Amino acid sequence: MTTADSQEPEGTTLNVYSYVVKKGKPVGPREVMRGANLSSPSLAYWHLQKLENSGLLTKNEAGEYIVKEKTSISGHIWIGRNLVPRLMCYSLFFLGILVVEAAIISVQLFYSGEIPNLALLYLIATNAIAFALFLGEGLLLRQKTRPEKTSN
């Protein structure tokens, strides 16, 4: 295996690999062409061959491709059969912190009648900005790794 073959998939090849993993069953080039929104079966076949040469897919006796090895992709994690950008998980972490902070402010405001401390408001603003940034960047990364929808 050459160094080019051992690199992790990216771009369209990553879309094809993600599609095959998500399907969870053997797929042929025509199915991959439709599922990954590629322009031709030969293009799908080329990407499937590239993934087979890198050791991520294997071809069965019917000529269909199945996942041989589910590899880690930098900046992403596998949740079941779905490839999710890590940034989306980080945004969920900050969302959880925001919910806890909102609960603290609610208790202070409604039960004890205290106005929330200015430091707590700064903390909420900082966490809200972090949540928005991680979510925005995660959605952009997810959009880049998903096949474009073509209108037929």
pLDDT tens-digit readout, 73-130? 888 888 888 888 899 999 999 999 999 988 888 888 888 877 777 888 899 999 999 9
d(CA 8, CA 24): 20
Global model pTM greater than 0.95: no
Signed CA dihedral, 28, 31, 37, 38: sign only: positive
Q: Which residue has the higher pLDDT, 147 or 109?
A: 109
Per-residue confidence at 152, pLDDT binned at 50, 70, 90?
very low
Look over the chain and give the mean of its residue pLDDT values, rounded to a whole number: 85
Nearest to 32 by CA among 7, 12, 53: 12
Q: For residue range 35-50, list pLDDT tens digits in order.
A: 888 888 899 999 999 9
pLDDT of residue 6: 54
* CA-based radius of gyration for the chain: 22
Please give the helix or strand (H or E) that residue 59 lies within, else none. strand 57-59
